[in-house]
Amino acid sequence: MSETDAGEEAELTRRQLVLVAESLDARLPEIVRDMRDLLVASIGELGGDPQLVEMLQASIEGNVSTICHILANDIDIDNLQPTTAAAEYAIRLAQRDVPVSALTRAYYLGQSMFLRLGIDAVEELSAGEEQRISLVRAVAETVHRYIDCAHRRGARRPPQHGAPARDALRGGACRAHRPGRADAGAVPACRLRLDCEPRFPRPRRRSSQKRVPAAGSAGLAHFPAASAADFDRPARHATDGAGVTPVRPAFQLRRSMPPTASTAPARRRGASNRGSSARRDDDAPLIPILARKVREVEAKAQRGKLGPTNRVKFQVIAFLVREERARVKADEEIPAAARAELLKRLDGVATILAKTAARDTSLIQLLEVDQATSPVAKRMRRDWLLESGAELPEDELIITDVAPVQTSVVPAAVASRQVTPPQIDARREANPFLAPDVALRAPASTARRRLDGWELMGPLYKAFETGAGGANASMELPPVPEFDRLSPKGLEIMPHQSRFLESVRAGHRSFLLADEPGLGKTAESVLAASVAGAYPLLAVVPNVVKMNWAREVERWTPQRRATVIHGDGDQVDAFADVFIVNYEVLDRHLSWLSSLGLRGMVVDEAHFIKNLGSQRSQNVLALGARIREQVSDPLMLALTGTPLINDVEDFDAIWRFLGWTNGEKPGPELMAKLDATGFTPADKAFYPEARDAVISMGIVRRKKKDVAADLPDKLIADLPVELDDEYGRSIREAERELGERLAAKYRRIIEARGDRVIRGEADDDIVRLVAHGELEEAKAAGAGADNVFTMVRKIGQAKALLAADYAAQLQRSVGKVVFFAKHIDVMDAAEAHFAQAGLRTVSIRGNQTTTARQQAIDAFNNDPDVAIAVCSLTAAGVGVNMQAASNVVLAELSWTAAEQTQAIDRVHRIGQDEPVTAWRIIAAHTIDTKIAELIDSKQSLAARALDGEQVDPTSSDSVQLSALMHLLRQALGAD
């Protein structure tokens, strides 16, 4: 390093030392108070004398402010003399026959505490690792030299009481003066002030627990895995003949934890009668600290309040007991009798640990030698060792909160495609606690189990291959509650849904929800998130249903916000509660989603991830694993009506996502269930028991016929889809242009009458007149013209593949499906998609002969290999019986309610033994949505007319006319 660089580095260190000094001096009253409490509690010889305590406080204030002044102004310690208060305090101790060891211990306890505060102040700075080590060295050297000087010159035993004692003390004091200064006396306490919040501010209300920063804060965001090798260096304790730890090089520090409110009185009570200094200056000053800490943990365990901080404390005690035992056994300078006594005391601490672990068995795993440690545990160990007077190497003094080393969820192949929606950074800044506190997670058990040596994945698959004599693969669910407390006003969940939600309420958090389509899995998932409080929630769904997911969130949990991720996510609402993304664009959003602090994840049509080699599967599994790493009890839901496509090993990916297995062996919870059966794969009885064990992990499977009493006999379910490609944008633009054309005609009529067009208002008669004229022109123009008919046809074409894709998914879940479309090109596109998916179809069209049509109908009803019937709305709307299916997909909407009803009734007819569901595919944000509303209104019109109710005369308008009127009002701003 050049002289210039060295000079710049030295100047940087100097400036940062000033910041450290200012930070410490800003907390001077707090530091003085805490240090006074520590010394009073630790030094029994003071006896609680109010005069001595007052003088002690003045001495502490003078020393601390002087050290701050030295650090801030780069003053040579050799040019200082002890502060007046410190000298007076030493004299007063001598006058009262207080042993000099009490004064010595006060200096070194205060030194350790100040070093702890200095290290914290350094860690608070935004400096590099090397720079922070340099700063710690500088602070340590200053403190050590100052205390050494004060101890050597101001803490010697005076020959006698009174004035001679004072003269003797002052005779040994530093007499040098500061160059260039007239006032060569004691340096006054500096009074620097800086608005700087300490890293670990002392709470106003003292607690027996050390303050641990909240999850997601700079202090502790994660508990990273670490080897026990981090604690493999034995603490080094060395004393001189007088039992006083001599001054060490600058990088060998001592540090003391300040007493807490609960421990200080206890130490104070026993100090005067038991001679507290005797044990602190013995061959193992760490043991009293461990004894005190283990009693604190024991007391918390007895009250059932053993939180994360005390669990860490328990672990550190166990580590240090092992280290101290090894050190005591290896130290040949300790006499045999003393060694036996020390080992006996360590056994006492170990006995309390064992009793506490017996009370709370989750602590047993923390006693394992190879148990991972966290930065908080390392920092706690460091503080206790410094409090005991141990020397620590410099690499153990600064402990950084390094984030866990995690495999990135973003594969290298898609790393360059990662995007971050504009609002995401704002959400992170608004909520610094997005990353959950993994300290709440129960560490994985390392206890060896009876089945550890067995290969279990194959037998688990076999358990499902053999079945269970026809028994349904569904876990036992709680009974239906007496009251429905979950449904929003105007809605009501069905009994089978309520039972599932009661299981979530009871604490179950991972499910393979394998109900048949039409039983409300989406609504169940939305409400489950509300029951579990699993927000933010991520839903990974097929593209065709993502708009429906957003609608269901709004419908069932209106107090929650959902956002749908399209493309690069430019329109994402980062402050939403539910994030909905389709499989196709998930890979672009892995990075920010993995750091969002998700507390739940739903995978809809989970059989999509069965191919573990696919990028789709890897993306989902990586995100799921990240959520389980970060959250102790995330809500994990896999939804599919068909978990098995080819064979039972299709379970593999779903079980991995849910955390039930890792692909090679069962997870801890499932392993415990299998172990509890008492059987091994060599036993025939193992297989039904293993099947039940997996089912109890959270498999829920209900069929329509099982819950038929809960369902309406015919249900029309709308699936809004987003046409977010270029074709969809062109459709929306065409709608806008058509609306403007109609609005221009309307304005001309209004102006011809001499009236003024008012924005937001419309004359209904003229609106109907303009729309009727447009409709007649469109009918006369025929195909190819730019009108409402061609627009609706384009919408059908745009929906074709989405509708066909959903029908294919549906068929895998429920069996036979009837697919209805209005236009031939939509039917052709759907049949091509089904053929590509390997699905056998039949077609019913208007140009078929009667014989060909009947053959297609018979094949669909009787041939199990025929999966889907592709039908024309007009040709197959009447005179066709297709009750082999109970699910209908309406890819295009009809212009009449009667046509829609006739199509659904091809399936919903006498002989149908299951409830029928018709899935209408609707293009969101287009005229398709309005057409669906109009069809529904016409449907209710027919019912009212037949029931003799009064009918609105305007309701007789055709759907085409009403749709055009809607477009016109929208363009006029009146709708």
Dump the DSSP string for 440-492: GSPPPP----TTTTS--HHHHHHHHHS--TT-------PPPPSS--SSPTT--
Most confident range (mean pLDDT) of 266-270, 422-426, 649-653, 815-819 is 815-819
Domain count, the chain: 3
Domain termination site, one of 169, 202, 235: 202
Tell me: pLDDT of 186 over 70: no
- Assigned domain for 224 exists: no
Does residue 958 lie in a domain region? yes
Task: Verify that 900 and 758 share a domain, yes or no.
Answer: yes
Residue 876 — pLDDT band, cuts 50, 70, 90? Answer: confident
Closest to 327 in 3D by CA, of 344, 343, 311, 313? 343
Please check the confidence at residue 894 and state whether its pLDDT lies above 70. Answer: yes
Instruction: Quote the pLDDT of residue 280.
Output: 39
User: Residue 481's closest CA among 467, 500, 466?
Assistant: 500
What is the mean pLDDT of the segment spanning 655-667?
Answer: 92
- The CA-based angle 878-884-887, given to 5 degrees, is 80
Q: Which among 185, 202, 219 is the end of a domain?
A: 202
Q: Is the pLDDT of residue 552 over 50?
A: yes
Are residues 733 and 590 located together in one domain of the fold?
no
Element spanning 151, H or E: helix 129-154
pLDDT recorded at residue 81: 61
Do 156 and 100 reside in the same domain of the chain?
yes
pLDDT digits (tens, 9 = 90+) for 261-274: 333 333 333 333 33
State whether 30 and 67 are in the same domain. Answer: yes
**Does 459 have pLDDT greater than 80?**
yes
**pLDDT more than 70, % of the chain:** 74
DSSP symbols for 746-790: HHHHHHHTT----TT---HHHHHHHHHHHHHHHHHH-TTSSSHHH
Q: In 871-882, which positions are buried (b, 16+ CB within 10 angstroms) versus exposed (e)?
A: bbbebbbeebeb
The more confident residue out of 254 and 890 is 890
Distance CA 866, CA 918 (A): 20
Q: What integer best gives the mean pLDDT of the chain?
A: 76
Mean pLDDT, residues 582-599 taken together: 92
120 confidence band (pLDDT: 50, 70, 90): confident
Per residue in 749-767, pLDDT (tens digit) is 888 877 776 666 778 888 8
| Residue 584 parent element (H or E) | helix 583-586
- Is 305 a domain residue? no
- Boundary of a domain, candidates 186, 202, 218: 202
The reported pLDDT for the residue numbered 82 is 58
For 128-178, write each residue's pLDDT tens digit. 777 888 888 888 888 888 877 776 655 444 444 333 333 333 333 333 333
Lowest mean pLDDT among 111-125, 189-203, 488-502, 766-780: 189-203
Indicate if the alpha-carbon torsion angle 738, 740, 743, 748 is positive or negative: negative
Q: Is 454's pLDDT higher than 60?
A: yes
800: domain CATH number? Answer: 3.40.50.300
Residue 408 in domain: no
From 7-16, 24-33, 492-501, the region with the lowest mean pLDDT: 7-16
Contact assessment for residue 967 and residue 734, using Cβ atoms and an 8 Å cutoff = no
Highest mean pLDDT among 307-316, 336-345, 463-472 belongs to: 336-345
Mean pLDDT check: name the lowest of 254-258, 516-520, 604-608, 825-829: 254-258
* Among 123, 397, 77, CA closest to 254: 397
Domain-embedded: residue 925 = yes
Tell me: do 698 and 726 sit in the same domain. Answer: no
Q: How confident is the model at residue 690 (pLDDT cuts 50, 70, 90)?
A: very high
Stretch 550-555: mean pLDDT = 92
Local structure of 870: helix, strand or coil:
strand
Do both 430 and 573 map to the same domain? yes
Token pair recorded at residue 848: 């078929």
Q: What gap in Å lies between CA 922 and CA 649, rounded to an integer?
A: 36
* Interior/surface letters 670-702, b for 16+ CB within 10 angstroms, e for the rest: bbebbbebebbbeeeebbbbbbbbbbebbbbbb
Which alpha helices (DSSP H) does 913-958 contain, by range?
Answer: 927-946
Based on the fold, state whether residues 696 and 757 are members of the same structural domain. Answer: no
CB under 8 Å to 428, separation ≥6 — which residues?
Answer: 434, 595
- One domain, residues 438 and 541: yes
Q: Are residues 67 and 165 in the same domain?
A: yes
**Spatial strand order in the sheet of 562-565:** 562-565, 578-582, 537-541, 600-604, 635-639, 510-513, 699-700
Asked whether residue 80 falls in the same domain as residue 19, the answer is yes
pLDDT band at 467 (very low <50, low <70, confident <90, very high): low
Q: How far apart are CA 892 and CA 907, in angstroms?
A: 17
Distance between CA 79 and CA 685 in Å, rounded? 86
Q: What is the pLDDT of residue 940?
A: 56
Q: Does residue 909 sit within a domain?
A: yes
In a domain? residue 681: no
pLDDT reading at 194 higher than 60: no
CATH number where 618 lies: 3.40.50.10810
Structure-model confidence comparison of residues 393 and 90, the more confident one: 393
Q: Are residues 920 and 868 in the same domain?
A: yes
Kindly state whether residue 233 falls inside one of the protein's structural domains.
no
Which residue range(s) make up the domain with 965?
713-975
CATH number of the domain where residue 155 is located: 1.10.490
639 & 720 share domain = no
